[in-house]
Structure 1
Amino acid sequence: MSQDAAAGQTGVVPLLTVVVPAYDAAAYLHRALDPLVAFAAAHLGAIEVVVVDDGSNDGTGALADAYAVQAPEVVRVIHQRNAGHGGAINAGVAAATGRYLKVLDADDWLDSLVLVEVLAELARREAQGGIDLLVTDFTHVRDGRGDRVVRFDSVFPARRLIGWEQTARFARRQYLMMHAVIFRTALLRRSGLSLPEHTFYVDSLYVLTALAHTRRIVYLPVSLYRYVIGRAGQSVEADTMLRRVDQQLRVTRLALAMLPDPRDVVSGAVPVRLYGAMMHYVEALCVVTSATLSRGGTRAHLAQRQAFWAEVQAESPWLHARLRRTLFGASSNLPGRAGSRVTTLAYHAARRVVGFS
């Protein structure tokens, strides 16, 4: 449905669509939806919530439907056959009617007080012609170890409309993960976003696909997203990541293919700082993927790791050399058993840096 069609039905185009992909999330979906429904009751027409029940086997679909009955002007539910996280995001983006879009995983939540400030900023910028990307800080909620806020104040000037040329370099712990970004819905569609189905770890592809098209940026130094780490069964658990390493490899290869041609950077068609941000992200994916294979340690795992780096070198010698020059890149590709031990240490460091632990 187009935004104009939605306005014709309701009279109001929401400023923000929150897409909630949900699979077997009945135990914690309330944590994501309760704050949004309460917020929407006090700010009618500001947001819509699209819950995508991705073929759940528990009570997720029924619970989501109950929220839609409770707040029909706010919550819509899409029931679909299981297509994985990427398929659920695709469905949510296709159904969104808001000017801007935020993806919220079903086991996380948004800070309602901060959301007030975020929406006020989006409304102000929309009145001035709109933006492509709103960046906010986010918080790792780590069971038993205290929360940790990822801030971007050293990268982006705060509360200003800027382009990539006005940004600084990202530090090791600073990655524009899905939790940090709100994209213009029209930009997401214009980017051709189509995430692979039945594949984990597609959040990075969501970000990179849209990021390549961003030029008008605003950063708010507030922590909107609460990202829960440590829940049993999460896809980012170390053992789970090892079992799904083939999916990691697939996503990392797709991410590598998304990097702009360096010639477009030289010509000015792609901003240098945008290219740097994308490279920074892809480097982390390469490190985590390579180090996960090293942690597996079997002959098959190590052969996959060697083949991965050989593939990178064959397709882009320049990129391979750049990755090998970095501390994490070099340590994730050391040969032999001694190298494997060093890579295991790099693996744990990389997980902390990227935010998987």
Structure 2
Amino acid sequence: MDKLLSIVVPVYNVEQYIRMCLDSLIVSDELMDQLEVIVVNDGTPDRSAIIAKEYEKKYPQTFRVIDKENGGHGSAFNTGLSNANGKYVRFLDSDDWLDKENLSKLMYLIGSSDIDLIINPLVYYHENTGKTNQLSVSNIEYGKVYKTDSFDFIKAGNRPNLTIFHNCTYKTDLLKPYLPLFAEGCYYDDVVLWLAPIAISKNFVVNEYPIYYYRVDRPGQSISQEKLKQHIADHTTVNASCVHFFKKCPIQNELTRLYLRKVFSGMITFQIENISRCGYQNSKRMYKEYLPILKEGEPYYDKKRRQKVFEILPFPLAYVLYRVYDIVKFKDKILH
């Protein structure tokens, strides 16, 4: 039977969580035949892959384990996407899980529609308290199909990461031409999905019911402040992957172009701010490494104040200026 939905699950050192993750994907027999779960074993040293293969043995029509050498989160996602056979694809981190009932609702929806991009609210699960909070969208009518090129995302005022993988189900054939889509060998490899789905989809719908439960406040998580400090340079790699996407996918529609330009400008500014807070020698080195990306990406973003200051003034003076500015205004953001 043709697969309706592929779910890509990268696995590395998640023995504690993987059963909960994979159990959340076991739906009715009817839907299991239409579901493909691709578990990508990214060279995990623990028992995660062994556990995943138990599901492959028990549900061979649905679960498939792909073993590969360790290449990182983005590499595992790219491997899963390249092997996906479903009409649609979702991505799921193996320490998170999906709402089983709402996953079934989603599958019935995509079985009777031809929408390019389907967005569902994200639920944060706080590991340290057990509490949840749902991130919803604004100024978008639930269940209504919108044409992407005539929708004003800027006016709607939603978060710029509206289309990240936690929220979305994508048409597989729309993503595959841009493989390797995810940045590899770095953290924050999925940031390109802040941009790509809006650029390549003709229409989208937002549903009211949440599907993805995102575990946060876990020690060592990539979104923690500690990891942000350690992996500032990875944002340069991620921004480079966004530039490469833009070069492969010229944006013709003006509303779409303005929105993506706004989002990417924010990414550029965020990284320049991070670099300027890393100590003089590190900042100087990292800014020098970032310059080729800034030059190559100039057609796709607007220069903000901090970047202009670094371009106009000698680096030592610009660095001192913004160190003073940060200390006065943003003490809580100082990384070093």
TM-score (normalizing by structure 1): 0.78
Comparing 277-286 and 305-314, the one that deviates more: 305-314
Counterpart of 1:212 in structure 2 is 199
1:245 CA displacement: 1.8
Which one-letter code corresponds to 1:16 in the other structure? L
1:221 CA displacement: 2.2
**1:238 aligns to 2:220 (yes or no):** no
Give runs of aligned pairs for residues 123-142 of structure 1, distance below 5 A.
123-125=111-113, 130-142=114-126
The answer as to whether partners of 1:260 and 1:275 remain within 8 angstroms in 2 is no
- Aligned counterparts of 2:289 and 2:326: Cα–Cα separation in 1: 15
- Aligned counterparts of 1:258 and 1:136: Cα–Cα separation in 2: 24
- Aligned counterparts of 1:248 and 1:64: Cα–Cα separation in 2: 31
- Aligned counterparts of 1:52 and 1:334: Cα–Cα separation in 2: 46
Counterpart of 1:250 in structure 2 is 237
Counterpart of 1:341 in structure 2 is 327
- Aligned counterparts of 2:75 and 2:329: Cα–Cα separation in 1: 33
- Aligned counterparts of 1:76 and 1:261: Cα–Cα separation in 2: 31
Counterpart of 1:30 in structure 2 is 19
**1:107 aligns to 2:95 (yes or no):** yes
Counterpart of 2:312 in structure 1 is none
Structure 1 pair 343/32, CA: closer, same or farther in 2 (3 Å)? farther
Q: In the TM superposition, what whole-angstrom CA distance separates every residue of 1:279-318 from its partner, at most 9, and x where no partner exists?
A: 34324433443343344x3113332565477667655667
**1:303 aligns to 2:284 (yes or no):** yes
Give the alignment partner of residue 127 of structure 2, picking from 122, 143, 163: 143
- Aligned counterparts of 2:25 and 2:270: Cα–Cα separation in 1: 33
**1:48 aligns to what SS in structure 2?**
strand
Which one-letter code corresponds to 1:139 in the other structure? V
Give the alignment partner of residue 19 of structure 1, picking from 8, 18, 25: 8
Counterpart of 2:188 in structure 1 is 201
Which one-letter code corresponds to 2:116 in the other structure? D
Which one-letter code corresponds to 2:254 in the other structure? V
Which one-letter code corresponds to 2:126 in the other structure? R
Which one-letter code corresponds to 2:11 in the other structure? A
**1:106 aligns to what SS in structure 2?**
coil
- Aligned counterparts of 1:210 and 1:168: Cα–Cα separation in 2: 13
- Aligned counterparts of 1:325 and 1:290: Cα–Cα separation in 2: 7
Which one-letter code corresponds to 1:195 in the other structure? F
TM-score (normalizing by structure 2): 0.83
1:97 CA displacement: 1.2
1:153 CA displacement: 3.7
1:319 CA displacement: 6.1
Q: In the TM superposition, what whole-angstrom CA distance separates every residue of 1:111-140 from its partner, at most 9, and x where no partner exists?
A: 112112211221121xxxx22211111112
Q: In the TM superposition, what whole-angstrom CA distance separates every residue of 1:172-198 from its partner, at most 9, and x where no partner exists?
A: 645222211211111111334443432
- Aligned counterparts of 1:80 and 1:174: Cα–Cα separation in 2: 33
Structure 1 pair 91/314, CA: closer, same or farther in 2 (3 Å)? closer
The answer as to whether partners of 1:15 and 1:100 remain within 8 angstroms in 2 is yes
- Aligned counterparts of 1:261 and 1:60: Cα–Cα separation in 2: 36
Counterpart of 1:352 in structure 2 is none
Structure 1 pair 319/103, CA: closer, same or farther in 2 (3 Å)? closer
**1:53 aligns to 2:41 (yes or no):** yes
1:25 CA displacement: 1.3
The answer as to whether partners of 1:17 and 1:97 remain within 8 angstroms in 2 is yes
Q: In the TM superposition, what whole-angstrom CA distance separates every residue of 1:134-153 from its partner, at most 9, and x where no partner exists?
A: 11111122234643322224
Aligned Cα root-mean-square deviation (Å): 3.1
Unmatched tracts of structure 1, length 5 or more: 1-11, 327-332, 349-357
The answer as to whether partners of 2:9 and 2:37 remain within 8 angstroms in 1 is yes
Structure 1 pair 171/124, CA: closer, same or farther in 2 (3 Å)? same
Unmatched tracts of structure 2, length 5 or more: 308-318
1:68 CA displacement: 0.9
1:208 CA displacement: 3.1
The answer as to whether partners of 1:21 and 1:105 remain within 8 angstroms in 2 is yes
Which one-letter code corresponds to 1:161 in the other structure? V
Which one-letter code corresponds to 1:140 in the other structure? Y
Which one-letter code corresponds to 1:335 in the other structure? L
Structure 1 pair 293/234, CA: closer, same or farther in 2 (3 Å)? same
- Aligned counterparts of 2:93 and 2:144: Cα–Cα separation in 1: 28
Q: In the TM superposition, what whole-angstrom CA distance separates every residue of 1:16-51 from its partner, at most 9, and x where no partner exists?
A: 1110011111111112111112x1546332311110
- Aligned counterparts of 2:236 and 2:329: Cα–Cα separation in 1: 17
- Aligned counterparts of 2:323 and 2:58: Cα–Cα separation in 1: 58
What is the total number of aligned residue pairs between the two structures?
319
**1:289 aligns to 2:271 (yes or no):** yes
Structure 1 pair 261/78, CA: closer, same or farther in 2 (3 Å)? closer
